[in-house]
Amino acid sequence: MSKQIRAVSLISGGLDSMLATKAIMEQGVHVEGINFFTGFCVEGHTHAIRKKDKDKPKRNNSLWVAETLGIKLHIIDIIEEYKDVLINPKHGYGANMNPCLDCKVFMVKKAKQWMEENDFDFIITGEVMGQRPMSQRRETMPIISAESGADDRLVRPLCAQSLPATLPEREGWIHRDQLFDFSGRGRKPQMALANEYGFTDYSQPAGGCCFLTDESYSNKLVDLWKSRGTKEYDLDDVMLLKVGRHIRPNRDFKVIVAREDGEARFMQGYKKSFINMNCASHKGPLALIEGDPSAEDLHLAAQIVARYGQGRDAEEVDVMVRDMSGNESILQVKPLGVDELPKEWFI
Amino acid sequence: MSQFELDARRLLCPLPVIRTQDKIKTLAVGDVLVVTCTDPGVMQDIPAWSRINGHKVLSTESGEYEFVITIEVGE
């Protein structure tokens, strides 16, 4: 009896990896999915923190894709290992702090490790030549194969016909004529194939799957590094950069002001890790104070926080300040006027 | 068969799913895992993960701030 050939597929939750996986499953290969969590993934429910997004489906698209395809999905936490990819990218950054090429190499390398540990035979990705300006170009395809160590065990079903034959094709595990030659940024071939496979509901591409491609997020990350004088970060930093208004009056401290109830509820969990404050005499948002503020800085922070409460037009308001031990004190401040909050303070 | 608990509060998806996955790897078939979370997204994700990986969700409970999912470990 011949051995059942097994492949591991990098599942992002988007359409391309879904189609690439299906194309290989159609050839009788047993496929299981793998999804890497860097901390910067847009996938997941980070957006669900905000109330305004409450009507969006809360599903995790990689899980949904796996369930639709009927395959297992292994979600791997690579937060710690990913730091080196982000801080020291060999191939540099894209338009923002996105180290896309290094990221792809790293993920394929991790998939190769998983493949070997679990006795699988090859790796599938949903890459399409020319689709992404940094990581999915003709020149970068061989770099990813070589630097990841996956070499000819890396199959890109959606553009395989435009690439040299891989080991699974040469061995006859899969048939090249049942793979594709998609290229460029157009989505029509993918949508036609989705239709052929009967996929009517799939995640639409909307600005990528990583916060690091987002300019605003990247600016906040760079600001965090500059203020600390080091590029170190932890998961809480990554998460907090996704919520609230970030206002930095000086290098010593930053104020993170919740924009709505959902964010405030999420930020409540950080009250033991940060000095925090909210207006006591009027309704107003929760704010976390990050850094090493002086008494003067705390007074300014309270004025900023008061600016976002219902007492913004009052002569004076009471702001409750809590230290990390939960000790409370009241600061009486005049809320900053709109023209007293310089644009340069907003990160 | 034993019952185990997992505290996944304050974590945002997919981390509660990853913690559940990693804990279940250490358990035996038939064991029961009770996962407590604060991200409402787990109500969709943990059952989805359980279905595709052959585990059975015995119950889900939604509180104002916490969500509790009980899973029986499958093959």
C-alpha of A156 from chain center: 23
Q: Copy the structure tokens of residue A210.
A: 């990583």
Residue numbers in B near A241 (CB within 8 A): none
The rounded distance, in Å, linking the Cα atoms of A162 and A138 is 9
Last residue of a domain, one of A210, A231, A260: A210
* A48 closest CB neighbour out of B17, B41, B49: B41
Residue A217 within a domain: no
Minimal Cα–Cα distance from B48 to chain A, Å? 7
Interface pTM, i.e. ipTM: 0.91
Q: Is A250 left (phi over 0), alpha (psi -120 to 50) or beta?
A: beta
Residue numbers in A near B22 (CB within 8 A): 77
Query: Among residues of chain A, what percentage have pLDDT more than 90?
Result: 77
In this structure, the answer to whether residues A119 and A200 fall within a common structural domain is yes
Q: Which residue type sits at B60?
A: T
Question: In 3D, which of A206, A44, A204, A211 has the Cα closest to residue B48?
Answer: A44
Residue A187's contacts (CB-CB under 8 Å, 6 or more residues apart) are A15, A205
Query: Among residues of chain B, what percentage have pLDDT more than 90?
Result: 77
Residues A28-69: tens digit of each pLDDT: 999 999 999 999 887 655 555 665 555 555 678 899 999 999
* pLDDT score of A1 more than 70: no
Q: Copy the structure tokens of residue A126.
A: 């949903």
Query: Does the beta-carbon distance from B14 to A64 stay under 8 Å?
Result: no
* pLDDT score of A344 more than 90: yes
What are the residue numbers of the active site of B?
Answer: 13
Q: What domain range includes position B68?
A: 3-72
The per-residue pLDDT for A263 is 87
Report which of residues A281 and A53 the model is more confident about: A281
Query: Does the beta-carbon distance from A265 to B41 stay under 8 Å?
Result: no
Residue A75 within a domain: yes
Radius of gyration of chain A (CA): 24
Q: Copy the structure tokens of residue A179.
A: 């793979």
Query: Does the beta-carbon distance from B14 to A60 stay under 8 Å?
Result: yes
pLDDT band at B13 (very low <50, low <70, confident <90, very high): confident
Residue A177 within a domain: yes
Residue A314 within a domain: yes
Q: What integer is the mean pLDDT of A159-175?
A: 97
Q: What integer is the mean pLDDT of B44-61?
A: 96
In this structure, the answer to whether residues A274 and A161 fall within a common structural domain is no
Residue A193 within a domain: yes
The per-residue pLDDT for A201 is 83
pLDDT band at A198 (very low <50, low <70, confident <90, very high): very high
Minimal Cα–Cα distance from A214 to chain B, Å? 20
- Pairing assessment for the beta strands A122-124 and A253-257 based on DSSP bridges: unpaired
Q: What domain range includes position A68?
A: 6-210
The per-residue pLDDT for A226 is 94
pLDDT band at A206 (very low <50, low <70, confident <90, very high): very low
The rounded distance, in Å, linking the Cα atoms of A193 and B22 is 35
Count of domains forming chain A: 2
Q: Copy the structure tokens of residue A156.
A: 């890109």
* pLDDT score of A136 more than 80: no
Residue A28's contacts (CB-CB under 8 Å, 6 or more residues apart) are A5
Please report, for the domain that includes residue A156, its CATH number.
3.40.50.620
In this structure, the answer to whether residues A144 and A23 fall within a common structural domain is yes
The per-residue pLDDT for A56 is 59
Residue A222 within a domain: no
Q: Copy the structure tokens of residue B73.
A: 């470990």
* pLDDT score of A139 more than 90: no
Q: Copy the structure tokens of residue B28.
A: 């035996």
Minimal Cα–Cα distance from A339 to chain B, Å? 36
Please report, for the domain that includes residue B49, its CATH number.
3.30.110.40
Q: Copy the structure tokens of residue A184.
A: 């460029």
pTM greater than 0.90: no
Q: What integer is the mean pLDDT of A289-313?
A: 96
* pLDDT score of A301 more than 90: yes
Residues A82-133: tens digit of each pLDDT: 999 999 999 999 999 999 999 999 999 999 999 999 999 999 999 999 887 6
Residue A270 within a domain: yes
- Pairing assessment for the beta strands A275-279 and A317-322 based on DSSP bridges: antiparallel
Count of domains forming chain B: 1
Provide DSSP, A149-181. S-GGGEE-TTTGGGSPPPHHHHTTSS-GGGS--
Question: In 3D, which of A273, A195, A231 has the Cα closest to residue A85?
Answer: A231
In this structure, the answer to whether residues A191 and A294 fall within a common structural domain is no
pLDDT band at A266 (very low <50, low <70, confident <90, very high): confident
CB A157 within 8 A of CB A29: no
Last residue of a domain, one of A210, A234, A267: A210
Q: What integer is the mean pLDDT of A308-334?
A: 96
